[in-house]
Chain A
Amino acid sequence: MIVLRRQLPLVITLIAGLTMAGQYYVPHPASEELLTSVTKWLQIIGGFALVLGVSSLFHQHAVKIRRREAGWGYSLVLYAGMVGTIVAGLWADGKESLDGVLTAFGWVYNYMMVPLQGTMFAILAFFIASAAYRSFRARSREAAVLLVAAVIVMMGRVPLGEYVLPVSGDISQWILNVLNASVRRAILIGVSLGAVALSLKIIFGVERSYLGGGKE
């Protein structure tokens, strides 16, 4: 059924893409109503994507545990964590506290997820410092410019740096506002043009990789 697998999705994409691109420029109430409905669909699809993501994660780690692949113990921890949290969440009706009292779900969130994620993020400071010491070297002229800019911005972003070198705050602002903003803007324009080109290719059926593989 090549029509159902190939032509139909392409036609749907073409119609939906052109309609929604045109919709942005039409302020008529019917057009606005269409946008409301379509974004509601998107939200519903988003909800399904969440279910799909969780079930895919379960499946992937179940295979790992069954085959006793390297690191399968971690998959077991993941399973225990996910199942435990889902059960606690369903038990508490998704509420973290009831009448000011923490539920089991709230306990998992407050005393496991919050500190674990915080710790992961905090560890970054140590690794960044170690990596900077090992690799942030002025090996070339470009690297030297980057190094000087980084040192000035790092000084200018903290009170002690501004105290030691008062001009670092203003130079750091200038680097961020002028040099950084202009380069970043150029990148953004490039990325946006690329996104527009890719969207047009998808709408007009030139780019078809999103349809997936499979036999024709």
Chain B
Amino acid sequence: MRIAERMLKIDRRIIFLIIGLCTLVPLLYPVGLPIKISPEVRAVYDYIESLPEGSVFLLSLDFDPSSKPELYPQAVALLHHAFRKNLRVVAMTLWVSGTGLADQIISQVARETGKEDTKDYVFLGWSPGGTAVIINMGQNLYTTFPSDYHGRPTKGLPVLEGVNSLRDVDYAVSLGAGNPGVEAWYVFGKDKYKFEMGGGCTGVMAPGLYPLLRSGQINGLIGGLRGAAEYESLIGRKGQAIAGMDAQSATHMAIIVLVMLCNLFYFVLRRQQQAS
């Protein structure tokens, strides 16, 4: 067997080992390369920054634990920013399997920033119906969520003072890992109830949401771990995303090198076969 042929049929466990090392080594020995801020992430940051104190910020954590590595740092960074700006945070999820995770995230950030449940923030939890929940919230928030995640009646909560429906939301961000997610919030929420919204998603979903961004249907987009790292840089708080960027850099470069090598061997083999 020729060398090129042998290299093309390399044991995949070797590739697994390379990827494993490329992930592990930078996590143990971080380099900390500078992160360039993209306009779409800055747009979300700037909008939140421009909101006056006490504005209503809706954060829909539409993901489950499988997308935690990418969307958890985004949620933490956004919540830190919102709490720092003294916004009233209304959190919820459209994914039943993400309810526990969403509760943990908001409780943890609130604890770190000294914010009070029901006064500064509320976690509404999950309600069945998917996109119907968005429409229902647009009509009446209290019939959709008569009680919050902890079973307290939502009517009369200080954090929801003056909030009756999605029309009273100043800014909404959906951190979506699929459907229902960012697209559903635009189609069934923003389009009808006229509030400004931004999005956050996994890296693999980001290219699919660029048309919404370019047409102004969403004002900004935080894409994947890179987006989260950019947001962490903007708020000046190093978190899991910045820590993970070196590992992602190394893994991307490893895949690029592997693809280049595979093409090199492919062309060498083809030339050899043509010659013979």
Contact = CB atoms under 8 A, between A and B. Distances in A.
Interface of A: 24, 32, 35-36, 39-40, 42-47, 49-50, 96, 106, 109-110, 113-115, 117-118, 120-122, 125-126, 128-130, 132-134, 136-138, 147, 150-151, 154-155, 157-164, 169, 173, 176-177, 180-181, 184-185, 188
Contacts of B15: 126, 129-130, 133
Please give me the 4 A-B residue pairs with the lowest Cβ-Cβ distance, nearest first.
A160-B249, A43-B129, A42-B132, A159-B33
A125 B23 contact: yes
A129 B258 contact: yes
Interface of B: 8, 10, 12, 15-16, 18-20, 23, 33-36, 38, 64-69, 96-97, 100-101, 103, 127-130, 132-133, 135-136, 139-140, 143-144, 192, 203, 206-208, 210-211, 213-215, 224, 226, 245-246, 248-256, 258-263, 266
Contacts of A176: 206-207, 210
A39 B135 CA distance: 7
Most chain B beta carbons < 10 A, residue from A32, A35, A36? A36
For the residues of A in contact with B, the DSSP-based class is: helix
B132 A117 contact: no
A125 B263 contact: no
7 contacts: A46-B132, A114-B101, A121-B67, A125-B23, A132-B262, A159-B34, A181-B213
B45 to A, nearest CB: 17
A158 B129 contact: no
Contacts of B97: 113, 117
B163 to A, nearest CB: 16
B129 A39 contact: yes
B211 A35 contact: no
Contact of B128 (A50, A162, A163): A50
Given A36-B143, A154-B252, A155-B256, 11 more contacts: A40-B143, A43-B128, A46-B129, A106-B100, A117-B65, A121-B66, A126-B15, A132-B255, A137-B263, A160-B252, A188-B211
A73 B204 CA distance: 34
Contacts of A39: 129, 132, 135-136, 139
Contacts of B246: 159-160
